[in-house]
Structure formats: C-alpha cells, structure tokens
C-alpha cells in the first residue's frame, strides 16, 4: 500500500446522469489526485452503484483507506443549500429532494448507502450543485407561478454549481466582474456570475430546463406537454421519460445524444440536432449577458465545451456581436471541489 503523509484522504464520488467518476485525493493545502477513473452507467443505474463499488475498490486496493468520502449531490431540495456532513436528517432531506431530481437523486442515495456499507464509520459529506446558486436574487430564483406553490419549494435552484465554483477558483485574480460560464456536457447549463457569485442560471427547479441537452428537452413551451398529456394519452411517467431521456439531441436526431456520434453521422437530422444545440447555447448565453448588463468573459467547460472544437467555433460565431468578449476554454474540476469541501467538513 502506498503511504501518504499528512492531510485528509478523500474519496470523491461524482455521480452524473450517464457516468460515475471517482477520485482518491490527499488534501493538505490543495487536493492532489492519487488515482481516479470514470465508470459509464446506464440511465436507470439506481442500486447498481453497489456493484460499481467493486470496480472502485479494485482501483483503490494499493492506496490508503479514505478518511472521508465526498459526494456530488445534484439537488438538496429546499432545505439544503450548503455543503454538509451526511447524517440521518440529511438523508431524509435527500430522499424528499428526489421529487425534484428523479434522474439523479435515487442514484446518489444508493451511492451513499453503498459507500457507508463498504467504509463503515468513515464520515460522508454532501456537496450540493445547488449551493453556488443559493444567493441568487429573487428576480432570478422566483418562478412565475402562484405563491402557494413557491412556498413548497418550487423555485429556480440552478445546477452545475461545483463546476462553476471550480472555474471561479481557477480564474483567481483573472476573475472578471461579469462572467458567463457555459457547462456543456450530457447535461448543459449557462450561469451568470457577478463578482464571483451566481446571479442567474438557465436550469430551474430541476436539471431538465434551460439549454437543449443530449436527451433532455431543456426549455420547452409548457403547452407542448399539456397537448401530449391531453391528446396522446401519455401519463406523467411517460412525459418524464420523454423530457429527460427521449428528447434533446437524441430525440431530434433519432440517433444519439452523444455529440461525437452526431458529428460523425451524415443524416440531416443529426446536423439539425447539432445546430439546434449550438443555437440553444448561444441564446442562453445571451440571456445571461442581459442579466449581467454585459459580459467580460465567457468560459466554456464540460465534456463538449472542453473537447468539441466545432461547438466552440459555432458559439464564437454566434456571439460575434458581443463587443470585447474574452472566450476561454477551461477544465471543470468538480471532483477537486468535492475533495476540498469533504476535507474541510469531514
């Protein structure tokens, strides 16, 4: 076993809609990655996370046992907007929050339970994607629905907060007053950041809104859903599947939501799906520029933002009208952020 001197040893677990990333970090003044990897998961992975731990433990066999485990939690619900240690009360709130993020919540709960079974007694920390957006002004956080529903926690939460945190940290002294962050991956969102804090973002109550995504609709006329409910016989469960799993670039192309697959395809519908995604991103960036009253910098991050050159080129062309916009490509470091918070709170 490799020895590590000083610092917390953090197992960071980043559960997304299509993958599970893990990394073992030693955290002293800053996180240092010892070993990590990515496991591709099915859309309905759920309790399969217990099985995935066999793969993780095999990778960690020669490394020190974690002293704390940190989890990316997509949605903490209305009662959890700050990173915290996980106890029974937190677990109860996370279970209730599954109503807001059924694509992510159950998988996260299964992963926390699996981690507790494999590493009994090791503290676990919840790192919320919504935390970065907790201070948004009311004009951004309030949804245009009756007050009675807002009182039950129906509001704009915002997501990809750990990614945004990492970009703000990486920019350091280069942090501009008016920044737009476009996290573009299987899930995609755009956030307006003023002086380091979120003031508006494209995703809303759930991670399904905003930008058109790989398999998610993004923003859509609510009348479309009402029409499908009323005229086609789809029920709530079928609509949820449509919105989260059957739409976006996959739905338009009829082929895939994977940008790499679509770029290699020759069908007209694949090209249309790509162009719609690029236009959707540009429109959401423009909206965030409006919220900021202008923008000094745009950062593209996430799997597509960092790696798909053609998407970056299309976004630059689509925003050529914005004067003086510094456009950068930067790596999202969600896992390192998880390690930082887990070490501080564990």
Residues serving a catalytic function are: 129
Q: Length of the chain in residues, anyone?
A: 346
The residue ranges of DSSP E strands in the chain, in sequence order, are: 8-15, 19-27, 31-40, 68-73, 84-85, 124-128, 178-184, 188-194, 197-201, 297-301, 326-329
What is the spatial order of strands in the sheet that 188-194 belongs to?
A: 197-201, 188-194, 178-184, 297-301, 326-329
Percent helix, strand and coil across the chain, each rounded to 5?
45, 20, 35
Residue 150 DSSP SS3: helix
Residue 168 DSSP SS3: helix
* 268: enclosing H helix or E strand: helix 268-292
Distance from C-alpha of 300 to C-alpha of 158, rounded to nearest angstrom? 17
Distance from C-alpha of 268 to C-alpha of 218, rounded to nearest angstrom? 21
Number of neighbouring beta carbons within 10 Å of residue 24:
23
């Amino acid at each position: 076993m490799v020895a590590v001197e000083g610092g917390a040893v953090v197992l960071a677990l980043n559960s997304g809609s299509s993958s599970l990333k893990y990394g073992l970090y030693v955290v002293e003044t800053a996180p240092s990655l010892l070993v990590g990897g990515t496991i591709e998961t099915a859309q309905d992975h759920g309790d399969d996370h217990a099985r995935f731990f066999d793969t993780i433990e095999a990778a960690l066999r020669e490394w020190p046992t974690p002293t704390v485990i940190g989890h990316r939690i997509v949605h903490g619900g209305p009662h959890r907007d700050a990173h915290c240690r996980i106890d029974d009360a937190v677990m109860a709130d996370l279970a209730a929050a599954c109503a807001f993020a059924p694509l992510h919540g159950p998988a996260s709960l299964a992963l926390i339970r699996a981690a507790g079974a494999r590493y009994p007694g090791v503290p676990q920390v919840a790192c919320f994607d919504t935390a970065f957006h907790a201070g948004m002004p009311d004009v951004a956080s309030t949804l245009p629905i009756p007050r009675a529903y807002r009182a039950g926690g129906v509001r704009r939460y915002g997501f990809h907060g750990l990614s945004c945190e990492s970009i703000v940290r990486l920019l350091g002294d280069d942090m501009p007053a008016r920044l737009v962050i476009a996290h573009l991956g299987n899930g995609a969102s755009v956030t307006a950041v003023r002086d380091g804090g979120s003031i508006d973002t494209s995703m809303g109550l759930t991670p399904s809104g905003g930008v058109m995504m790989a398999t998610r609709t993004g923003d859509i006329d609510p009348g479309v859903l009402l029409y499908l409910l009323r005229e086609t016989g789809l029920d709530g469960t079928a609509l949820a599947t449509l919105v989260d799993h059957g739409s976006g670039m996959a739905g338009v192309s009829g082929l895939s939501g994977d940008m790499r697959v679509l770029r290699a395809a020759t069908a007209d519908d694949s090209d249309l799906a790509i162009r719609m995604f690029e236009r959707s991103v540009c429109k959401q960036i423009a909206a965030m520029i409006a919220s900021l009253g202008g923008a000094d910098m745009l950062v593209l991050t996430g799997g597509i933002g960092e790696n798909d050159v053609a998407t970056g080129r299309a976004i630059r062309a689509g925003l050529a009208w914005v004067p003086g916009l510094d456009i950068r490509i930067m790596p999202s470091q969600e896992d390192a952020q998880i390690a930082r918070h887990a070490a501080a709170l564990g």
